[in-house]
Amino acid sequence: MHAGLKLKNVRERLGLRYREVEKATHLIAQRHKSPDFAVGLSRLADIENKGVVPSIHRLYSLCAVYRLNFPEVLKWYGIDLGEAVHDFNLLRPSETHLVQFSSGDGSVTLPLKLDPGLDFRRTTDLSRMIQQWGRVPISLLDNLDMEEHRYAIIGADDYFMFPLLRPGALIQIDESQRKIQSAGWTHEFERPIYFFELRDGYACCWANRSGNHLILQPHPSSPCEPVVVEYDTAVDVIGRVIGIAMQLESVYEPRIKAKKKPRSVAVTR
């Protein structure tokens, strides 16, 4: 059934005749002071029976008269506003610019239920703590591939990579990149950051491998010291950090004076 027939079925269920629809759309046109909103008898017949695509103004009027949701009717015509967040990435302007999307433009997959034992003070593999996923209408975040990658939260007491990674930051992990890269970068923003699972905790940091030992390297501005663990028995490389979401001013920063080492790496002492 094409979109015009769907509109016809809705009109008939409401018991509206062609002339009633025409009169209602003319009233809408008068209210908006534009004849573009008016739908004539012949045009309405063409829309319903011949599959003629109405203009956006006429489609708006029909949605208003039929009590239909405009974005939903656009889907009948093959236009899903939620797909705009994917399509706008096909062209990347060179200039910095605002992205104008509303919270109603589609939906994204986000965790709806977390494990009650989740401790935000410790760096945590968030993927293991999610008990239920769901669709949430925040379209700008729909670029996050929630099913293909893993996610973790930097603990409130974890200053190992501060200030590059602040406590409370959400990180995205690519499990396909597990090989430790020891060279090839020119500055700290190019140096790979990895997420590790230790014997009873997690660590997110730079790393260097020396024989059978792995050196977990903190940021130079961090109050923490490097930690050495056995590569084969004491650590598992989950993957490389490929995305970060965090506040530039962390609410946890006052704790840095009281904490010398992050709880996320305390298991390696």
Q: How confident is the model at residue 150, as a pLDDT?
A: 84
What's the CATH number for 3-79? 1.10.260.40
Domain range list for the chain: 3-79, 108-268
Contacts of 267 by beta carbon, 8 Å cutoff, 6+ apart: 198, 199, 200, 201
Q: How confident is the model at residue 268, as a pLDDT?
A: 32
Q: How confident is the model at residue 260, as a pLDDT?
A: 43
Q: Do residues 202 and 123 touch, judged by C-beta distance below 8 A?
A: yes
- Reading the chain (269 residues) residue by residue, the pLDDT tens digits are 799 999 999 999 999 999 999 999 999 999 999 999 999 999 999 999 999 999 999 999 999 999 999 999 999 999 988 777 678 767 766 664 555 555 455 555 656 566 777 776 787 777 776 666 555 544 445 455 555 678 888 888 889 999 999 888 888 899 999 999 988 899 999 999 999 999 878 999 999 998 899 999 999 999 999 999 999 889 999 999 998 888 776 555 555 554 444 444 333 33
Q: Do residues 66 and 14 touch, judged by C-beta distance below 8 A?
A: yes
Q: How confident is the model at residue 262, as a pLDDT?
A: 43
Q: Give pTM, 2 decimals.
A: 0.53
Q: How confident is the model at residue 97, as a pLDDT?
A: 58
Amino acid residing at 83: E
Q: Do residues 114 and 129 touch, judged by C-beta distance below 8 A?
A: yes
Q: Supply angle C-alpha 185, 170, 178, rounded to 5.
A: 45
Orientation angle between helical segments 56-66 and 41-49, nearest 10 degrees: 90
Q: How confident is the model at residue 55, as a pLDDT?
A: 96
CATH 2.40.10.330 at 108-268, yes or no: no
Q: Which residues on neighbouring strands pair with residue 197, listed in sequence order? A: 202, 236
Distance CA 198, CA 203 (A): 7
Sheet-wide strand order for 213-217: 124-125, 150-153, 170-174, 235-245, 194-198, 202-210, 213-217, 227-230
Q: Do residues 173 and 240 touch, judged by C-beta distance below 8 A?
A: yes
Q: How confident is the model at residue 201, as a pLDDT?
A: 86
| Phi, psi (deg, nearest 5) at residue 156 | -65, -20
